[in-house]
Amino acid sequence: MGEKEIKKHVKQRYSKIARGEERSCSCCSTMDMTMEQARKAGYSVEELKSIPEEAVFGLGCGNPTALAEIKEGETVLDLGSGGGIDVFLAANKVGNTGKVIGVDMTPEMIDSAIKNAKKGGYDNVEFRLGEIENLPLEDNSIDVIISNCVINLTPDKNVAYQEVYRVLKPGGRILVSDLVTKGFIPQEIRRSFQAWSECVGGALPQDEYLNTIKEAGFRDVEIIQKHFFTEAGMDERLIGKIISVQLKATK
């Protein structure tokens, strides 16, 4: 499996989700079920009501904005911003003196997020097309970086975290929700494009994932929440082996 092939299939799936041709999970056949999936990931009813409904795709494995301690006036970057759910929640926290930038590699997601921003009247957000391994941002320009079940989608997590480190200001922090593994994952799943696009095929063992962050230069790398990840229709070989982690670190 080549990096370009993996990205191609990931883009195809998320393009379909953005266009409404595919739901984020097999159980999300209606918007109500999509909202329920988002609540299970950690979003409160109040948070979901405070942003455009169309920004919620039921994607993600956590709620990084709830744990990132985002402050008024800060500049926040959301990696893999999708329809903009975490961008808009962060925008509510940084206020008019702050700014939130969403980066996504899928043009359809960027288009959707821009429409949602206009609908919600957000003047303190911006969406940019780009890849995590080559972020369209200047060095040392971001106070806080958040990401929700996205970094596991990239084939080169070392480069991704090096880029995260590059654009973060000294003393800046990251709060990432992601999936990691525990135990043996069958090669059939590791080599499945569908499994990659569903955030499972590319998930790293927990210790390897944490070491990737440390090797990029981050300090105080810490898991602050974690739980076993399950989903309707999940391959039984993965039960008890996929963990949703919420972790933080500082530059």
Quote the CA–CA distance of 245 and 176 in Å, as a whole number: 8
Domain count, the chain: 1
Give the chain's largest Cα–Cα span: 49
For residue 166, the domain's CATH number is 3.40.50.150
Task: Confirm if 244 and 177 have CB atoms less than 8 A apart.
Answer: yes
Which of 106, 108, 162 minimizes the C-alpha distance to 135? 162
Tell me the HSE value of 194 on the side-chain side, using a 13 A CA sphere.
6
Reduced to 3 states (helix: H, G, I; strand: E, B; else coil), residue 233 is coil
pLDDT per residue, tens digit, the chain (251 aa), is: 788 899 998 899 888 888 887 655 444 445 555 556 666 666 777 877 888 888 877 667 888 998 889 999 999 999 999 999 999 999 999 999 999 999 999 999 999 999 999 999 999 999 999 999 999 999 999 999 999 999 999 999 999 999 999 999 999 999 999 999 999 999 999 999 888 888 899 999 999 999 999 999 999 999 999 999 877 678 889 999 999 999 999 99
- Judge contact between 199 and 153, C-beta under 8 A: yes
| Residue-level pLDDT at 41 | 64
* Sheet containing 242-250, strands listed edge to edge, beginning at the edge strand earlier in sequence: 125-129, 99-104, 75-79, 142-148, 168-181, 242-250, 219-228
Task: Please give the pLDDT value at position 56.
Answer: 76
Range(s) of the domain holding residue 108:
3-250
Take residue 194 and report the two structure tokens written for it: 């569908």
The pLDDT of residue 17: 86
